[in-house]
Amino acid sequence: MNSYDYNGRVAAITGGANGIGAAIAERIVASGGRVAIWDMDISAPESRVASLSDAVCVMVQTDVSDLASVEAALAATKAAFGQVDVLVNSAGIAGPTSTVADYPADMWRKVQQVNLDGTFHCCRAVVPGMVARDYGRIVNVASIAGKEGNPNASAYSASKAAVIALTKSLGKELAKSDIAVNCITPATAQTRILEQVSQEFIDYMRSKIPRERFVTVEEIASMVLWMASAENSFTTGAAFDLSGGRATY
């Protein structure tokens, strides 16, 4: 397992109480960093997060779809740890499995509010501090769906495509400073988000992956750990593939 130096670094991780975000939080703490978990539900975090001491981890109840809630989370994180050097936007929802013709309009808006607006809100909040310190690493969790579009998942696919575009735009805006903005485009991982979709859809998603299995959250965390480290000093505005061979570009 590769190790990166996170001593003195503070990471804010949205959706960090479970799944992908929790695995990333665990690895950053193991590498010497401190983490702030920004999550809607902090009542039952995964054991890998629950076991972290208060000295290295704070839990902040946060609704990323609400800018005021994100700004309050940033203030709480600064009060605990002083700054945010790393932002990982992992919070997301799948939305219903439905054709475009039948997709509930309210759920379309909800998916965009969490997946896209939430990513924007968090970037908007932390970037000024990163610019002031001339250092920052932002990793947005997009999806292979944002590249290819999954049938019966139009809202999710559209939101993740927009996250990829937002990543590229912000990466170019900040390219003259020591701030890297990148995203990952993983295939499906076995996390709680699958509870929101049908078994038929889950089976379909697995069948699309040449490795014939889902990516693990630990595999995602391994890639993110480098992307969010000081060693990633050149690459920005990029989308990193984690699709098990599914991606064609």
Active site residues: 156
- Report how far apart, in Å, the C-alpha atoms of 214 and of each of 107, 189, 190, 218 are: 26, 5, 6, 12
Please, which residues bridge with residue 186 across strands? 242
Cβ–Cβ under 8 Å, residues 89 and 70? no
Tokens 């979709």 correspond to: 197
Distance of CA 200 to the CA centre of its chain: 25
Tokens 């735009």 correspond to: 169
Backbone φ and ψ for 14, nearest 5 degrees, come out as: -80, 145
Distance CA 156, CA 92 (A): 9
Cβ–Cβ under 8 Å, residues 168 and 237? yes
N- to C-terminal Cα separation, the chain? 27
Distance CA 52, CA 44 (A): 14
Exposed e or buried b per residue across 85-99, where buried means at least 16 C-beta atoms within 10 angstroms of its C-beta: bbbbbbbbbbbbbee
Backbone φ and ψ for 235, nearest 5 degrees, come out as: -70, 125
